Amino acid sequence: MCVGVPMEILSADGLVATASDGVRTETIDLSLVGPQPRGSWVLTLLGAAREVLDADEAAKITAALDGLRALMTGGSLGDAFADLEAAGPRLPPHLEAAHARGDTEA
């Protein structure tokens, strides 16, 4: 299984950047997201940036990954998924619309 990791751009030269997740520093490919300035956050997978993130979203993903890492080593999740727990369950937009119309069957 592959997992995307948020990384902050430390420096960039065109479509090649040096980025860090706070633990390790890597050279990443920016071809899919375009040139990014220093300080930008990107979701990386297999050495390539796949999506540009805002700092808040990067922090939420990092907290979730840290929680899973802790759980895998015998610890607890803590509040790693607090943002999801606070939001509660939501239907996808097309099902929400069907529910609002009173549809009871798919």
Q: Print pLDDT tens along the chain (106 aa).
A: 678 999 999 999 999 999 999 999 999 999 999 999 999 999 999 999 999 999 999 999 998 888 888 888 887 777 777 776 777 778 888 888 888 998 887 6
Would you state the pLDDT for residue 82? 74
Residues found in the chain: 106
Would you state the pLDDT for residue 7? 98
Would you state the pLDDT for residue 1? 60
CA distance 9 to 33: 12
Show the domains of the chain with their CATH numbers: 1-53 (2.30.30.140), 54-101 (no CATH)
Would you state the pLDDT for residue 106? 64
The DSSP H or E segment spanning 10 is strand 5-13
Predicted TM-score (pTM) of this structure: 0.73
Q: Is residue 8 within 8 Å of 49, Cβ to Cβ?
A: no
